[in-house]
Amino acid sequence: MRAIAILLAAGRGERMGAIEPKAFLQLRGITLLERAVRTVEESPGIDGFLVAAPADAEDRVRELVRSPKLVGVLAGGETRQESVRRALAAVPEGFDVVVCHDVARPLARPVLFAEVMRPLREGWSDGAVPVVPIVDSVKRLPEPGRMTSVPRDDLYVAQTPQAFRLGILRAAHEWIAENGISASDDAEALERSEGSLAEPVPGDPSNIKITRPEDLEVAEALLGADD
């Protein structure tokens, strides 16, 4: 098995309200992009990686990312889904597994990369996704004044990294793009294309996504002394 990681860094970070894409924001002096690069470098099962860069920031990404595992930097698309599709098209020959990871999750650990790749290495699944049970009460608000409660016992949130057989994820993304279907993550791309289903594996509650400014403070608090 040869695995390539796709680091998704092409978002604009609008909910952060910052002037820069999230990939270039720093957490304890290190950009989120460099943290993701460090994690894939420290992941023994990852043989190379691609970066989907924000529009017009490919050179800036190349300057920040100096790694022997770097396979390429490409321009992302308008949506995350389009960024993944472009990156999948750029994967060179010789890889059979792809691990998609959001640079917006700077606390993902190499062990989580190993855990999502395990079902593929052991041959019992074509995809694996880290999930964490929802702990809060969940409400549906279809319109003002009509809040209803959703039973949460079988509800989980999905994280990245997510691992897939390369051919299967490629086919799924091509199919949903051709059929005008949008998917918020790669597990959904697989599901919507009615191919195989990804396997859930235990996620890491501290693997938070940086979405709003306060998330950076939470992440800072979760960092270990050596991070």
Q: What is the C-alpha separation between 169 and 178, in angstroms, rounded?
A: 14
Q: What is the C-alpha separation between 192 and 175, in angstroms, rounded?
A: 9
**Which residue's CB comes closest to Mg ion?**
11
What is the CB neighbour count within 10 angstroms for residue 163? 34
Site residues for ligand CTP, window 37-56 (CB under 6 A)?
A: 52
Q: What is the C-alpha separation between 161 and 9, in angstroms, rounded?
A: 13
CB-based contact 50:91 (threshold 8 Å):
yes
Instruction: Give the residue with the Cβ less far from Mg ion, 11 or 119.
Output: 11
SS3 state at 74:
strand
Residues that contact ligand CTP, how many (by CB under 6 A): 22
Site residues for ligand CTP, window 97-156 (CB under 6 A)?
A: 102-104
Instruction: Give the residue with the Cβ less far from ligand CTP, 52 or 168.
Output: 52
Q: Which of 9, 88, 108, 176 binds ligand CTP (CB under 6 A)?
A: 9
Tokens of 44: 């023994």
**Residues in CB range of 121: below 8 A, 6 or more apart:** 1, 45
Closest to 44 (Cα-Cα) out of 96, 2, 104? 2
Residues that contact Mg ion, how many (by CB under 5 A): 1
Out of Mg ion, ligand CTP, none, what residue 104 binds, judged by CB under 5 to 8 A for its kind, is ligand CTP
Per CB under 6 A, the segment of 6-14, 43-51, 92-100, 120-128 that binds ligand CTP is 6-14
Q: Is residue 10 near ligand CTP by the rule CB under 6 A? A: yes
Site residues, ligand CTP (CB under 6 A) = 8-15, 22-23, 52, 76-80, 83, 102-104, 209, 211
